[in-house]
Amino acid sequence: MELDMYNELQKIWGTIPTDENAKNEDFDLQLQKKILDVFHVGDYYFFTMNVRKSLMENVSSEVEKVLGYPSEKITLAFLGSIMHPDDLPYFLNFEVAITNFFNGMSGAKLFRYKVQYDFRLKKANGEYIRLLNQFVIIEHDEENVRTFVINTDISHLKKETKPLLSFIGMEGEPSYYNVDVQNIFKPTKPFFTNREKDILRALAKGMNSVEISEAFCISKHTVDSHRKNMLQKTNAKSTSEILGIAYNNGWV
């Protein structure tokens, strides 16, 4: 029987408890937009999702550039209709895991995780592209559970077809990379050192070794040594390949 994403999501999200009353007062949409403009690695659009009401809100106009559809056409049911059929079971299994993950939390801890996974959507021209779906919770109460969601085109970074799920901890919380949805509470040790992560983020911004050395007040030789170590750790052959692996795995 063909899966109905919209109805299945309503069942999954219907298990979210209603006795929590928390809001991320530090969240600023305009600030997030500025950060996105600096650090994005591909074309993207964003929106807020009212999970409690299965309603997409504030879909940004950039969606037309990414998918070819006007923002007013984008609804949860519509996204279900254009999702690659092979990715839909992954998507629903991930949402079960995500719901279970957050159902075990309360208060400010709800806002200390970024969730990311990928899937393919069909553009208006019939072409499938792979999107990195990232979100954070910004509100959780009896009436509304809202998330801020960013969908970025990573077709140029990820070629393999298996979708992956990661929970990225913030403010000292542990991270869970490439989780097994049957065993999501097994934290993964950091793959890169903090300095390597700094250099990785700089490379993602298009900076070269000289610019990076000046930005972090270290020698170019040190930067190149870190880059060599990162190539060895990932078995990558180029910087672009490192970035692709890093984004696929949620290391940046």
By 3-state DSSP, what share of the chain in percent is helix, strand and coil, each rounded to 5?
A: 40, 20, 40
pLDDT band for 167, please (50, 70, 90 cuts).
very high
pLDDT tens readout for residues 42-70: 799 999 999 999 999 999 999 999 999 99
pLDDT per position as a tens digit, 3-38:
688 888 998 999 999 988 888 777 766 666 655 554
SS3 139: strand
Nearest Cα to Cα of residue 56 among 40, 39, 42, 69: 69
Q: What is the pLDDT of residue 140?
A: 93
Compute the residue count for the chain: 252
Residue 3's pLDDT is what?
Answer: 66
- Predicted confidence band of residue 1 (pLDDT cuts 50, 70, 90): very low
Q: Are 7 and 131 in contact (CB under 8 A)?
A: no
Q: pLDDT tens digit string along 203-224?
A: 988 899 999 999 999 999 999 9
- For the chain, domains (ranges, CATH) are 5-169 (3.30.450.20), 194-249 (1.10.10.10)
Query: Over the stretch 95-117, which tens digit does the pLDDT of each residue have?
Result: 999 999 999 898 899 999 999 99
Q: Is the pLDDT of residue 191 over 90?
A: no
pLDDT over threshold 70, residue 139: yes
Mean pLDDT of 184-192: 62
Question: pLDDT at position 216, please?
Answer: 93
**Farthest-apart Cα atoms in the chain, separation:** 60
pLDDT at res. 188: 59
